[in-house]
Structure 1
Amino acid sequence: MGQSVEQHLRKQHLRKQHLRKQSPQHSSSTPGEDPRMTDIADVAARRLDLAGTRAFEQVGSGPERRRRLAEFNAQWLGELWEDAVRGHRVEGVALAAVGSVGRGDAGPLSDYDLVLLHYGRTLSNDEVTRLADRIWYPIWDAGVRLDHSVRTVNQCRTVAADDLTAAVGLLDISPVAGDSEVVAAARATVSHDWRANARKRLPQLTDAMAVRHHRHGDLAQSIEPELKEAHGGLRDMTILSALAEAWLADRPRGEVDTAYGLLLDVRDAVHVVTGRGRDRLGREDHDAVAALLGYGDPDDLLADVSDAGRTIAYALDGTVRRAGQSQRARVLRVGPRRPQMSPLGYGLFESDGEVVLGAGRQPESDPLLPLRAAVVAAGANLPISPTTLENLATKCGDVPTPWSPLARGLFSDLLAAGPGLVTVWEGLDQQGIIERWLPEWAAVRSRPQRNAVHRHTVDRHLIETVVHATGLVRGVGRADLLLLAALLHDIGKVPGAHDHSRAGAPIAETVMRRLGHTEDDVEVVSSLVREHLTLIELATRRDHSDPRTIDAAVTAVAGDRDRFDLLLALTEADAVAAGPKAWTDWRAALLAQLATEVRDRLDPSIPTVSTPAANVGQGVVPEALVRALAAGDPHVEVLAHGGSYRIDIADRDRLGLFADTAGLLAAEGLVVRTAILRTVDGVAVNEWHVESPSGNEPEQPRLQRGLARLATGDRGPLGLLDRRRQFAARPSRESTIGTPGQPRALVVPGASDEATVLEVRAEDRPGLLHELGMAFAKSGVSVRSAHIATYAGQTLDTFYVTDFSGHPLGPGKVAQVVAVIIDTCDGTT
């Protein structure tokens, strides 16, 4: 609050008194001029001179520059102290500094935050007040911004107990002049209380941080970063030290100190080029600050500032988690505390709110372990612990290129994780794992975007686009291609690129080929990257009634309805992720109008069945196999394929066989990636491609016995299925961003003359295929063949079904079955 008129007049009166008292000591001065004022008025200029342009010329000059500033501050304040105490009794009194001056890393125009400390015994209150005036007024007269207080040691303790900000500041209190034992006593007392009350203060500290971060934003994602108060800013470094002072967590070193030094350098440069003690790097100062720090391009400066902010923010978030774990351990400890480990699969566990690697897991043996860890962590909306990330980064080899189908499937599952992807991806990126998977990522990492509609750096925008795209996967045939296009659509925003869409297309091709995708998939994603701005530009800048507008949209997707659906979803996800300025109701309405016109042109009345196994032939069942099946023994064969397994199963066709087989595989803990089911001459010949999260190879005899028991009506082999469903239940997400929406069951007209073809799109979960099979059986529907595929955590299953007589379903029956399928996928049956 501003001072009253009376306070202002009193301050002016006291200042004049102070100057009159000092003037006799300078009798040689010019009449009417106070030489002392002439000297101290140069303080700001002297501080700026110590940090002038020459002080920035050499790389790494920041620590030396700040050391000289710290020496000047100590010398000048020491001189003021000597003048103030000359001729006075000042036992048990000291001048101390907190904040940046106390830490010795103040900028050229940083505020002075000073405390006059005393025991409260040796001097009267009036004597202490007069001493304070003799110190504060010369500082004010020098034009230096000053935050000051006068306190006893006990008052420091009281203030720290009542004011969280003051408590954190007093942890850094350092002596400037006078009795250093007074300062040591205050610091020791405050530190002791801080550790003793850590249980109460930690929640207060995290709440205060959250409020501050919400107010000032994320430093790494701002084009005008607040260097001090934002998430990842200088203030957060003091929080790291405070947590270490409470003995709750170790303070991170190394990269975080380098990041801190960079932000200090940028702050110093802002002070110099603006002549003000600002902590915000404004747009108008980008060029001058970049030039002073030796950057040829201001965007390179902003990228480094973003990297530094991300490093500090990541270190802070991890340290706060460590502190919380340590605090819980103190509260709950009765005897030796054993960590609570909940298995997540692949030798990974949830422990204290993080994903950790089990003691028996050998990272060296599995180059896909970082992918597996990322999938389970993002799916559970948990971070991977820093120690586990470091082990994964240093001990796991690179994924062999081109990537295997299993690796591609894991990567798709990671992209489909929803909001949990953001935190997990950041951890992987901090450890350099992302660049090992996608070397092209380095060029867009932390790159600023000066377009007003964007709220994130390029790399963060790409991840946000993926998260929003997961909410649109039900409207496309290939969820994996949509998510890959979302990840790569702005990969061409590299220095020197004039059209990032065109520049990004060949980069996307390179990435897709490294991931081992087919040339058809490479071409689709490349075209989506190249055309990702086409629809929104046509929708907002062209006349929808003009046939040439529709021609342009149709040409962009090569006349392919499936590709159009992908491009439309990518367009929406891109705009939503950019920010509210890019996705308005008006823009959404225009895009929807254009989509209607384009769909009419593409004639969606006969959609294409999207299945990789649509052309599998019926084949002929060997006679020897028919004889074996007649004896009641199902045929099972397990083939290993580099971390995944192909299971060939043949059995006599019967109602419920599909449900039984799917349920048995789920009960054994196997995850179905793809499957091709067909019936030949009354024999079901099925091919299942599965993954084993436990690492155990599927047991052929066990599967064979299970199928035989299920054929007799014994449901025992499915006993573990309910337990696995409960264990693998996905946690509820606080945010609705990226949720795929309702399941869909589509009838594909004209796809078959002999059966009704149904396409099911839903979020995959353990036992879903079993539930669908049971739903078909209870509805009196026979599954003649099925083509099962999972893309990015979403099922795209096509079923050829008939009634008991072997004929396609009638309209009424179709409606009934579709309703049952949707209820089954939704978990309402």
Structure 2
Amino acid sequence: MPRRTRPAESARAVSSASAVSAAPSASPAAAASAASPGAEAGRGAAGSDSEGESSERAPGDLRRLRTEAASLRAFTEVGAGARRRDAIAAVTGAWLQRAWLGSGCQREGLALAAVGSLARSDSGPASDLDLVLLHDGRIGGKALGEIAERFWYPLWDSGVRLDHSVRTLEECRRVARDDLVAAVGMLDLRLIAGDPELVAGVRATISHDWRANARKRLPELMEAVRERHERHGELAHLIQPDLKESRGGLRDMTVIRALAAAWLADRPRGAVDEAYARLLDVRDALHLVTGRGRDRLVQQEHDAVAALLGYGDADLMLKDVTEAGRSIAYALDATSRRAGQSQRARTLRVGPRRPMLTPLGHGLSSHDGEIVLGPRTDPARDPLLLLRAARAAALAGLPIAPTTLDNLVENTPHLPKPWSPKARDIFGELLAAGDGLAGVWESLTLAGAVDQWIPAWSAIRSRPQHNPVHRHTVDRHSIQAVIEARPLLADVRRPDILLLACLLHDIGKAYGSDDHAHLGAEPAGQAVLALGYSAEEADQVAHLVRHHLTLVDLATRRDPDDPRTVEMLCEAIDDDPDTLDLLRALTEADARAAGPAAWSQWRARLVDDLVGAARRRLAAQGHGPDPHVVDPGPEEDGLPEVAAHVRAAAESVGVQVHVEDHGEGQLVEVIAPDRVGLFADTAGLLAAHGLSVRRARLATVDGLAVDRWHVESPTGARADAEAIERSMLRLLSGDRRGLTPLTRRPPRSHASPVTRALLVPDASEDSTVLELRATDRPGLLHDVGRCLASAKVSVRSAHVATYCGQAVDTVYLTEPDGAMLSPGRVAQVVGSLIDVADG
């Protein structure tokens, strides 16, 4: 690297100018302290113990000066944090430059540079100093060693922790190549004293190497970040977080800067800068409270740190820390995705490259690992588009692109309260998405969408929990309970009620009371009403919230052999078997979400024993399940009537299909002579035509099947009645090609609920009633219908519904001669249904 020499006096002038420019906001007191010779002596240069030499060479107790500079800045004033850190940087820079001058380091080809927090001007009162003595290789080893000792000794005696090194440009490149942490740190390299061209040259070379090797180093960096997060946990969910190393901590901001320095992604601004400054303020207060350079915010320091920062209590401070951690973690995720996308684009580009969009329906697409809007999609025209995007992202396990999310939140019209049935259904499917829900909900929360949907949510957002059993904040625990409920959805008749109860069960903790279950019942019910559910459904959710601790308390704290224990549980569920099933599932989901210590085999056995005893008591009292799981609506009360001309046309042609708009979907009515397999054929053709069945009611009137299917199309296309008729007539002639699309079946999720097929006893006097609960998928009803046709049973009527991606289908079956199924036949059909639904 070319070097320009300069006289020693010029070097001193440049160093002095650097001191002034590095700290324009230093206070007069701090500057005076920095400029004074220093009252406290340390050892002299080159290891001398002479008090006189120390007094002349050491410019003062740096640790004390830094603490005084920090203490001069009130923590509660607006902008005090930045001014405080500027003052610390000014004092430190001035001290180092005076030490540089006093140690006789003014040599050609020599410079002092900082990395880490000092280089970024965000040092805390007790932060380490990371310094590099740079040289161009022309100074001899012995002379260089003597120079280094003369400078390091006063620093060691100054009361601060020091990480130091002596390197040439090539040595810096080698260290950066071999040590990822060092490479990231040297990107912030900044001149303190000496030759500015030497420092500028090293920094430029390190930055060039970083960009040139980005393809290799990006995976290495991301793996190191992942391992660090696993070791230190997520700042947003910890009561005693490491402010630096945790996910969402200060070091993640350094990673974001490194990704931007590689020219792979833009550095995010705004909210993430505010979050970073907030964490720095907490770190500064922690340093002053403890008198040490600690980064872990341990519980015994919460009150003192909160008081210094001006908070009314420690929980308010922890909430802000959580919010800051969430913002930084979200920014890191988005920036790392952008970096990966840029790197792939560089690797694959051989010419103009068009975006590879995979349509997902409703104007949404997936692109390069994110959910984005299609090129002609206008959020202002679809009030449901934000919900649809959230559902698509959670189901696919992909994030919504940040610009897309901002566009959706800003431009999608707010949903009127109460929500429409369609909005309610999409929201339920979002909740039922499983593990993909957590990240999407986090992004929706940060964007402000969740507060629009559920205003009460803001009161529990980032609220800490001091119970050692809990591993998450209140809001994150609630979302985890929803996720933990997914495998249990087939255990209940109304999965949507279960998921809502999980989501809102701790809403009462916003009031800071031990009796949060009772306090949360009313706001939970109000939130459910606003989401478009009926008053009866809202009351059921409120009832579950009120009693979400009852089952586990009775099972673990009362005598299970005492009849009064079972009686108390039955009173809590109002003698309703469905509520008992919901409470059982809510209890397990809540416990599993709290942490490993909250749900064990022993506790599960106690709960199940008590639930079993309650079921036996209810059965003995005649409280059985209600087989009618679908409210058909006023237009479907009783058996449907068929006009004479429609009957004649259906019997002569073989089928009649009518389509009409119905709410936010379509109603497809199929009228045809009843036959074995008609249910399967109709369901299969609707799926093959890209239509999703939301609910259906099938009935037979005097040998004529009158089936009403409520469907929707992800593309917004209208069902084609004539095309469906033609396809059904081809099926009658034996041509099955219309069902070919059903062979392309998506893989089954490992987290899918276990399929249930249940006999509903005494539900009908002349039919056998079975209830199937299974994860919905394209072609499920077709497979169910084929299974029943293969078993040679007649479907007298059927009630089909979908809740939160979970099909809950009730079928009334008879033998071909009209007789009810025998117990052996019931077992055969139940086993076949479970097999085909799991297929």
Answer yes or no: same fold by TM over 0.5.
yes
Deviations 1:272-311 (A, max 9, x none): 1111111111111111111111111211111111010000
Give the C-alpha shift of residue 37 in structure 1. 8.7
Give the C-alpha shift of residue 810 in structure 1. 1.8
Please tell me whether residue 518 in structure 1 is matched to residue 539 in structure 2: no
Aligned residue in 1 for 2:20: none
Pair 815,125 (structure 1): closer, same or farther in 2 beyond 3 Å? same
Distance 2:770 2:360 in 1: 33
The one of 269, 281, 286 equivalent to 1:270 is 286
The one of 107, 110, 125 equivalent to 2:124 is 107
Aligned residue in 2 for 1:795: 807
Distance 1:497 1:665 in 2: 52
**SS of alignment partner, residue 775 of structure 1:** helix
Aligned residue in 1 for 2:89: 70
Aligned residue in 1 for 2:739: 718
Aligned residue in 1 for 2:38: none
Pair 357,320 (structure 1): closer, same or farther in 2 beyond 3 Å? same
Give the C-alpha shift of residue 623 in structure 1. 2.5
**SS of alignment partner, residue 372 of structure 2:** strand
Distance 2:76 2:393 in 1: 45
Give the C-alpha shift of residue 637 in structure 1. 2.6
Aligned residue in 1 for 2:5: none
> Counterpart of 1:699 in structure 2: which amino acid?
D
Distance 1:49 1:348 in 2: 56
**SS of alignment partner, residue 820 of structure 2:** coil
The one of 535, 538, 550 equivalent to 2:554 is 538
- Pairing of 1:797-816 with structure 2 (within 5 A): 797-816=809-828
Distance 2:838 2:600 in 1: 31
The one of 626, 629, 633 equivalent to 1:608 is 626
Distance 1:354 1:452 in 2: 36
Aligned residue in 2 for 1:174: 190
The one of 73, 98, 101 equivalent to 2:115 is 98
Give the C-alpha shift of residue 423 in structure 1. 1.2
Please tell me whether residue 594 in structure 1 is matched to residue 610 in structure 2: yes
- The answer to whether the Cα contact below 8 Å between 1:37 and 1:141 also exists between their aligned partners in 2 is no
Moved over 6 A (4+): none
- The answer to whether the Cα contact below 8 Å between 1:47 and 1:69 also exists between their aligned partners in 2 is yes
**SS of alignment partner, residue 694 of structure 1:** coil
The one of 782, 793, 805 equivalent to 1:770 is 782
Distance 1:235 1:462 in 2: 28
Aligned residue in 2 for 1:7: none
**SS of alignment partner, residue 591 of structure 1:** helix
Pair 564,372 (structure 1): closer, same or farther in 2 beyond 3 Å? same
The one of 42, 54, 64 equivalent to 1:45 is 64
Deviations 1:230-289 (A, max 9, x none): 100000001001001111111111100010000000000000111111111111111111
- The answer to whether the Cα contact below 8 Å between 1:477 and 1:610 also exists between their aligned partners in 2 is no
Pair 89,811 (structure 1): closer, same or farther in 2 beyond 3 Å? closer
Pair 561,131 (structure 1): closer, same or farther in 2 beyond 3 Å? same
Aligned residues: 793
Provide TM-score, normalisation by structure 1. 0.93
Aligned residue in 2 for 1:663: 684
Give the C-alpha shift of residue 433 in structure 1. 1.3
> Counterpart of 1:245 in structure 2: which amino acid?
A
Give the C-alpha shift of residue 19 in structure 1. 5.7
Of residues 337-346 and 531-540 in structure 1, the stretch that sits farther from structure 2 once superposed is 337-346
Aligned residue in 1 for 2:31: none
> Counterpart of 1:626 in structure 2: which amino acid?
R
What residue ranges of structure 1 are gaps of 5+ in the alignment?
A: 1-13, 26-33
- Pairing of 1:301-316 with structure 2 (within 5 A): 301-316=317-332
Aligned residue in 1 for 2:730: 709
The one of 732, 739, 751 equivalent to 2:763 is 751
Please tell me whether residue 473 in structure 1 is matched to residue 485 in structure 2: no
- The answer to whether the Cα contact below 8 Å between 2:241 and 2:298 also exists between their aligned partners in 1 is yes
- The answer to whether the Cα contact below 8 Å between 2:57 and 2:102 also exists between their aligned partners in 1 is no
- The answer to whether the Cα contact below 8 Å between 1:53 and 1:292 also exists between their aligned partners in 2 is no
Aligned residue in 1 for 2:21: none
Distance 1:810 1:347 in 2: 50
Distance 2:110 2:722 in 1: 85
Distance 1:740 1:569 in 2: 15
The one of 643, 660, 683 equivalent to 2:664 is 643
Please tell me whether residue 509 in structure 1 is matched to residue 521 in structure 2: no
Q: Cα RMSD (Å) of the superposition?
A: 1.8
What residue ranges of structure 2 are gaps of 5+ in the alignment?
A: 1-41
**SS of alignment partner, residue 796 of structure 2:** strand
Please tell me whether residue 348 in structure 1 is matched to residue 376 in structure 2: no
Aligned residue in 1 for 2:648: 627
- Pairing of 1:3-14 with structure 2 (within 5 A): none
Please tell me whether residue 432 in structure 1 is matched to residue 453 in structure 2: no
Give the C-alpha shift of residue 717 in structure 1. 3.1
**SS of alignment partner, residue 278 of structure 1:** coil
Give the C-alpha shift of residue 22 in structure 1. 5.8
**SS of alignment partner, residue 296 of structure 1:** coil
Distance 2:117 2:178 in 1: 22
Aligned residue in 1 for 2:341: 325
Deviations 1:419-454 (A, max 9, x none): 011111112112111111111111111111111110
Give the C-alpha shift of residue 692 in structure 1. 1.0
Give the C-alpha shift of residue 716 in structure 1. 3.7
Aligned residue in 2 for 1:118: 135
Distance 2:448 2:271 in 1: 13
Give the C-alpha shift of residue 15 in structure 1. 5.6
Of residues 311-320 and 42-51 in structure 1, the stretch that sits farther from structure 2 once superposed is 42-51
Pair 108,779 (structure 1): closer, same or farther in 2 beyond 3 Å? same
**SS of alignment partner, residue 318 of structure 1:** helix
The one of 268, 271, 274 equivalent to 1:255 is 271
Pair 365,20 (structure 1): closer, same or farther in 2 beyond 3 Å? same
**SS of alignment partner, residue 809 of structure 2:** strand
**SS of alignment partner, residue 134 of structure 2:** strand
Please tell me whether residue 761 in structure 1 is matched to residue 780 in structure 2: no
> Counterpart of 2:733 in structure 1: which amino acid?
T
Aligned residue in 1 for 2:792: 780
Distance 2:752 2:582 in 1: 14
Pair 488,24 (structure 1): closer, same or farther in 2 beyond 3 Å? closer
Give the C-alpha shift of residue 680 in structure 1. 0.9
Pair 661,72 (structure 1): closer, same or farther in 2 beyond 3 Å? same
Please tell me whether residue 390 in structure 1 is matched to residue 418 in structure 2: no
Deviations 1:200-244 (A, max 9, x none): 100110110011111111000000111000100000001001001
Pair 92,541 (structure 1): closer, same or farther in 2 beyond 3 Å? same
> Counterpart of 1:73 in structure 2: which amino acid?
T
Aligned residue in 2 for 1:11: none
- The answer to whether the Cα contact below 8 Å between 2:73 and 2:80 also exists between their aligned partners in 1 is no
The one of 692, 697, 706 equivalent to 2:713 is 692
> Counterpart of 1:812 in structure 2: which amino acid?
G
Of residues 620-629 and 340-349 in structure 1, the stretch that sits farther from structure 2 once superposed is 620-629
The one of 23, 48, 67 equivalent to 1:20 is 48
Please tell me whether residue 148 in structure 1 is matched to residue 140 in structure 2: no
**SS of alignment partner, residue 686 of structure 1:** strand
Of residues 351-360 and 192-201 in structure 1, the stretch that sits farther from structure 2 once superposed is 351-360
Give the C-alpha shift of residue 46 in structure 1. 2.0
> Counterpart of 1:713 in structure 2: which amino acid?
G
Pair 695,162 (structure 1): closer, same or farther in 2 beyond 3 Å? same
Aligned residue in 2 for 1:9: none
Deviations 1:161-216 (A, max 9, x none): 11101100000010000001111111111111100000110011011001111111
